[in-house]
Amino acid sequence: MTASGELIFNIFSSLAQFERRLIQDAGLDSARARGRKGGRKNIAHDDPRVLTAKRMHKNHGMSIDKMQATQNLESQLLTAILLCQRPLNMTP
């Protein structure tokens, strides 16, 4: 590849990335205008699924994968529930 060819390639690549980010920002702004936030929904500390998962782990030593299947909770959320005093992304 020649130096001028590489320059043209980099310019087009930068323009494509810029256009992609403009479209992404416009989509996010549009979603915010409609009242959408995005991200995982919060879950309360006293949610029955959370309490059951804590009991299952404490009493039976059940793995996170098995609890995820039975309680319909994401593995990152279960890990946060079981390892942290106050899990992330949870309402008080």
Say what the pTM is. 0.43
Report the C-alpha gap between 64 and 68 in whole angstroms.
6
Dump the DSSP string for the chain: --HHHHHHHHHHHHHHHHHHHHHHHHHHHHHHHTT---SPPPEETT-HHHHHHHHHHHHH---HHHHHHHHT--HHHHHHHHH-SS-TTEE-
- What confidence tens digit (pLDDT) does each residue in 37-48 have? 777 777 777 778
Q: 10 Å Cβ neighbour count for 43?
A: 17
Place 17 in a pLDDT band, splitting at 50, 70 and 90.
very high
